[in-house]
Structure formats: C-alpha cells, structure tokens
Structure 1
C-alpha cells in the first residue's frame, strides 16, 4: 500500500501532498459517516423513529468517552509530527507509548462511571418518555466497546502523523462495513431490534481495534515501541494533555450541546422534534466529511514543516487547505439546501404496518426538516476558515489559541444563542443559532490566524 513517508511531508509539492493526505482521510470519514447514516436509516426503517431519537440521546456520552482517545491521539500526533520533522525519534516513541497507557487508564475509568450512573445520564441527555428504554439498551451495550473505539481514534491520528493516510483510511473503513453487515444480520435477519443495533456497533469497534493493532506490529509503522515507552512521563503527558485538551474540550462542548438541544427540543415539540434534530445531527456528521478530511490532511503537513522550520511551506499549506475546504463546503451547502426533504425521507420507514404514532412522527419530520436543514447549514461555505484556522494552532503546538478558537463556535457563541433565541423565536430560534454561531466564530478565527501568520511565519 503506497503512502507518503514522514520525510515526504517536508519535500513534496503542497497541493499534491494535501490531496494525498486529504483524500484518504475524506474517504475514511465518508465511510464512517455513511456507516452512521445508513445505520440510522436501518434503525428508522426496521425499528422505528423513536429508536433514532434513542440513539441520538446516547451519542453524547459514548462520543465523549471516545473523544478522550481522539484527544490523546491528536495531541500526541502533533508532538510526533514535529518530533519526526526535527529528527527526535525517541521523543516520538515515548509519546506514542504514553498515549496508549493514558487512553486505557482514562477511558476504562470513564466507562465504569458511565455504567454506574446510567439511569441518571440517559434522562439528563433527553432520554425521557418513550425514548428511555430503547436508549438504555443501546447505551449499555455500546459502552462496553467504547475503550476499543478510543484506542482506534488515538491510533488513527498517530498513523496519519507517520504519513500513512491510506492505512488510517482503511482503519476507518473496516469497522464501518462490518457494522453495516452486522446491522442487516442482527436487526433484519435475527430481529434483535435495538440489541442488534448496539451489538453491531460494538463489533465494529472491535474490528477497528484489531486492524490498528495489526498496523503498529507490522513493518509499515515507523514507531516500534517497547515496554519502557509505556511508563508515564510527566513532561510528555503535560504536552499531550495541553494539546489534546483542545480536542477534548470541543467534544465535551458537543456533548453538552446535544444535552441542551435534546432537552430544549423535547420541551418545544416532544419526541418528533428530537427525531428532526437526530436526522440533522447525522447530516452534520456526514455532509461535511470532505471538509473534515482536508482538515485532517492539513494537520501532519503543517506540523512537520513547522517542526522543520520550513515556514513558506506552512503558509502555502494554510492557503491551499482553506481553498480546497471552501470549495467542497460550498458544494455540500448547495446539495443540502436543494434536497432537504428527499434526504429526510431516507430515514423514515414507509412500511404499511406502521402504528399511528410512527406515522405522525414521520409526517412531522417531513414538515419541519426543510426549513431546519437550510438554517442549520446556511453558513457552511465559510466554515473552512474556521476549521483550518483552529487546526493550525493545534498542529504547531500552541494549545491556548487552539483551545479558544475551538470553543468559539459551540461554547462561546452557540450555547448562549440556543439558551436565548428559542425563548423568543421558539423552534426557529434553535435552527437560527447554528449559522449565527458559524459566522461569528469564522470572523474571530480569521483575525487570530491572520495575526499569527504575519507575526511568526517569515
């Protein structure tokens, strides 16, 4: 499998290099997003719309624990990219070993706490009424597999830091395909219902872990660690933590956002409105996959060249990444605003045996989704600057501005908006909050990025 070597990150033409990094990352994110999307379609068609809402309630908890692995992975990957760029191989190895130890320690502890407080957490995240029982089934089973997912997310970031994007892509594709196949078997063939959906998801995590474990044992990986590298090192942990906290904070705020949104929408419109948000939430994950792919491809290139003090290449990487991401974001915007009802219809069952409640929810979703989708994605064409700008500070190891810019959209702008606007405009206020927050966060990020580039890259 041909890949970009870590040395090539500092020599190949930026445009060509970014495509090599971003396309596999985009494909991997696409397949993972398709997995979530099709999984939701299967659940909606074979179990019912309440089941979609139930999964949406569970996502904040499982995503937050998995995000611990992602945070440790991205924080450590930034160190590894810069260490490889400056020929500090031992620091890269020590960082990777500490990432593994820290991921296991933190995520297993969080899973234990998550299981102990299951009956408190689910209602807190909007799992009320008819949603609770299905959400609890899904939550408990999926939580068992979350440490494996965390290890996968951590390992995936490290694989990209080595300049091996195609292996990182494969690591994302394998569990997604496995999950969809098992969805069909467990839900449709064996009729396990919500249990089947949960076990299919957990099995997908295990498949991913198996592949990532194989990669690091194979000759394809440059990072061959031994037992001494697993011993926790204070200075390495501090650097991983400061950079990884940026990703963790973003995911924590995302979980808080889900909590608030599910509760606000439940109070405004009950289970049907939560189902509308569940579909929009899936599209937020799925539709922006190429933008996230460009961002993931950008990180190791910027980090390596910054470590090698090749500042002209860093500047060119920033500009090229923003251009590529803005182009694909605009295409996404056009598709979502032209075909919102057709997209929503994919998630809804047309079985003749649906009960009155399911039929009423389906009709409600189709009525409310077009305006909601258009308002939520209205500012999509400009988010490239926001994402690349925040990622740049993380890539070069500057944790404080990375944290500030990461939190501007959801923490500083979006959460206050959804707490204020619905009391004035009702449901409309919820959907308006998304684009207003995007515009404000993009302005702030643009100012930060411009000042940093002018000050340091010369």
Structure 2
C-alpha cells in the first residue's frame, strides 16, 4: 500500500469513494493482469507453433513458477507491509533494514529455487502430473525456465516494496517491459528460429531479466530512506517480522500449486480411462485455469484498490464510507465476473481458438471445461472482495478462511469424490466449491455488516 501523505489522508476521508478506489485499483489491476498474461502469451504462441501437446508440457512446469511466485510474495509483500508499518511509526532505520533484509532473503531463496529445480526436475514434473508423452517437452521447457527463477523472484519481491515506497507506476513499468520483451521474442524464437517450447522459455527469461534490471535500478532511489550496504546485514528479528507479514499472500499462492498438482494428476488418471486420453484434459484445464486467472487478477486488483480506503475509514470510525467503499468494490467486481461468465458460457470456443487451431475431442473437452468448471464464476466477485475487506478491517484469520475455503477446503475434497463420474466429474468441483465458499463469505460479511451498523449507530 502506498504511504499516505496528509493530502492522501484527507482524500481518504473526503474524495468520492469510486474515484479513490479507481486511483488505487487501476495500477494494481494492470500489474496483476500483466503477470497473468506472461504465461498466457507463451501458451498462445506454443499452441500455434507446437500444438496442444506443447501447451500440456508447459502446464506441468507452471506450478514450479507458482511456487517461485509464492516465495516472492512471502518476502516481497512481507517487506512492503513492514515498510508501511515502520514508516507509520517514523522508524526509518527499521524501514531500511526491512527492505535490505528482504532483498537478501529473496536472493538466497531465488538461488536455492534454481538449484533445487534443476537437480530434481524429473521427480518434480512427475509430482505435477507429467505423462510420458509430455515429459520430453516439459524437461526442455523446465530447465530453461529454472534459469529465470531468481530473476523473476527478485523483481516480483522488489516491485512490492517499490509500490509501498510510493512508486506504483515504476513497479508497473518494470513488469510491463518484461512482458513486452517476452511477447516480442516468443514468435521470433518459435516461428522464425523454430525453437519450439525452448524458444518460448528463452523469451520468458529474457523478459524476466529486463524486469529484474529495472527493479534493481530503483534500489538506491528509494524515497523513504537512503539505501546503503548496512541494510543488507541480516537481523533475525527483522527477517521473522517480514516473513510473518507475508505469510497470508504465500498461503494463497501455495494453495494454487496444490490445486494444480491435484487436478493435473486426477485429469491424467481419469482422462486415460476416457475417450479424451490423459493429455487433452491436462492441457485444456491448464488453459481454463490461466484464462480464469485473468478474471481473478482483475477482481483482486479491484479489492486491493478498495483496501486502503476501507482500512483508513475503519480506523477513523467513518463507518458509512467503509460500507460505501465495500459496495463500490463489490459492484465493480461483479460487473467483471458477470462479463467473464457470459464469455465462458456463450463464447468459449472464441477463447479456446486463441490458443491454436485444434479439432474434435480437444475442442469438445476445452468447451466443457469452461462451461462446467467456471459455471458459478459470478460468485467469485463477492468472495474476493469479502476476503480483502476482512483483511482491511483487521480480521486476517477470517480473511484467510474465506480465501482458502474456495482454493483448498471445498475444492480439494469435492474434486476427489467423483470417481463414478470420471474425468467430467472433476470439472464439477469448480462450481461446487464456488457455491460453498460464497455461502461462507456471505455469512461472514452479513455478521460484520451488522456489527458495523451497531458501531455506526
């Protein structure tokens, strides 16, 4: 969250709520969508240049990237929260230590991730559902992607702290440049140099290196403190504080990895016993999850845009503005979720065809995936904003419960149930989890709103 100046503070209390939320939400939405598009751009070019098996291979490597991102947000979001807290206390020495220690920790984590991934690539891919058909291309793609992990982890973590330092546009430019480089080089390496999935991976890490260089360039230019070498000396207490503040972001990302690993394995097993085979369900589901990630990125961006407005006014006991900010965020998120619903239900083929021209069984299963798995996606708008609202009013445990209910608590058991329904049964886990998570979120929000009304009276 940006450090609020006196003007910002009065704006939080007086400026129209919709305009305020838009000011905070738009850079955040752009950053999150760019992040989601990174993977989708690869999928599109691989779909056209290599075919759906190439996309299947990248899907089993994708959870490795998510684990790297989870570590990056653990340290980066933790460092950003620590920076904001210590800045509020006026403790500039701790601000410097927090950023410096986070930078050292993410560098160590990035190198460790690179080494572990390269050494254990084969068993890791097995864990994430690689079949014998997909393994050769997955290894080819995975080894190159591993080289880029330290770069993407460091730039992601630094960008979170750069946003907290009051430079959200700089952080956004850092990510946009990387995404543009990836998009430019993908077709060159895949179509002109005929490098297949390896070409896509090289384009990805080139983009990641550019983002890394841009974010490193900011280090000596922090506005809130003067960065020097003493900041890099590790302090146990500072490191633990940073990690504890980033843990909820970490859990959310790790939940995605667990779900992807489980679904990949279930789809491969059930798919093998169906007309579709193992590879078609694996690939189609990967694409559906990544397209869905774009919708979720916009929803999370809107919710995060509302967070400082809700948090500030809640702290000031300005409860009617808290309620108004919540309503504006819900309305905006629901509009996005309903538009996505219409696309997924009534034009799924137009989305599927972006990722290459396949036919027959592949298209049939991909359309089923969109229509069944994302059937209740309009409920995601409410649930996403509800989780961030609970975080903003200082209820982190309730917020984590709402977030994890959809990702793990409901989705995993339901996905494991439908043995009799086979591969299509796995898809029904999506709407079932969405419905149950919505009911839980609604109950919590109704309770909190009643409390808010009493406090406002």
TM-score, length of structure 2 as denominator length: 0.88
2:275 corresponds to which residue?
none
2:388 paired residue among 386, 391, 407: 391
| C-alpha distance after superposition, 1:49-106 (max 9, x if no partner) | 1110010000101211222011222233233334444544444333222221221222
Classify the secondary structure of the residue corresponding to 2:155. Answer: helix
Q: Is the 8 A contact 2:163 2:171 kept in 1?
A: yes
2:240 paired residue among 238, 241, 252: 238
Structure 2 residue 14 is matched with structure 1 residue 6: no
1:438 corresponds to which residue?
434
Structure 2 residue 171 is matched with structure 1 residue 159: no
Structure 2 residue 330 is matched with structure 1 residue 285: no
Distance 1:304-1:241 versus aligned 2 partners, 3 A rule? farther
1:142 Cα offset (Å): 0.7
1:214 corresponds to which residue?
217
Classify the secondary structure of the residue corresponding to 1:111. Answer: helix
1:425 paired residue among 411, 417, 421: 421
Task: Determine the C-alpha separation between the residues in 2 that align with 1:299 and 1:154.
Answer: 20
37-46 or 297-306, which deviates more: 297-306
| C-alpha distance after superposition, 1:241-266 (max 9, x if no partner) | 23322121222121111111111111
1:222 Cα offset (Å): 3.0
Structure 2 residue 51 is matched with structure 1 residue 43: no
Length, aligned pairs only: 443
2:409 paired residue among 398, 412, 423: 412
| C-alpha distance after superposition, 1:328-369 (max 9, x if no partner) | 2222222222210121111123xxxxxxxxx6xx42121122
How much is the aligned-residue C-alpha RMSD, in angstroms?
2.6
2:120 paired residue among 105, 117, 122: 117
Distance 1:254-1:288 versus aligned 2 partners, 3 A rule? closer
Question: 5+ unaligned residues in a row in structure 1: which ranges?
Answer: 350-358
Distance 1:451-1:244 versus aligned 2 partners, 3 A rule? farther
1:127 corresponds to which residue?
130
1:345 corresponds to which residue?
353
103-112 or 76-85, which deviates more: 76-85
Q: Is the 8 A contact 2:159 2:215 kept in 1?
A: yes
Q: 1:364-383 alignment to 2 at 5 Å?
A: 364-383=361-380
1:293 Cα offset (Å): 1.9
Task: Determine the C-alpha separation between the residues in 1 that align with 2:225 and 2:318.
Answer: 24
1:148 Cα offset (Å): 1.5
Distance 1:239-1:395 versus aligned 2 partners, 3 A rule? farther
TM-score, length of structure 1 as denominator length: 0.88
Q: 1:178-257 alignment to 2 at 5 Å?
A: 178-218=181-221, 221-257=223-259
140-149 or 367-376, which deviates more: 367-376
Structure 2 residue 102 is matched with structure 1 residue 94: no
Question: 5+ unaligned residues in a row in structure 2: which ranges?
Answer: 272-277
61-70 or 289-298, which deviates more: 289-298
Task: Determine the C-alpha separation between the residues in 1 that align with 2:311 and 2:115.
Answer: 35
1:416 Cα offset (Å): 0.8
1:318 corresponds to which residue?
326
Q: Is the 8 A contact 2:110 2:151 kept in 1?
A: no
Q: Is the 8 A contact 1:242 1:399 kept in 2?
A: no
284-293 or 443-452, which deviates more: 443-452
1:294 Cα offset (Å): 1.0
Distance 1:128-1:451 versus aligned 2 partners, 3 A rule? same
1:353 corresponds to which residue?
none
1:356 corresponds to which residue?
none
Task: Determine the C-alpha separation between the residues in 2 that align with 1:156 and 1:299.
Answer: 19
1:452 Cα offset (Å): 4.9
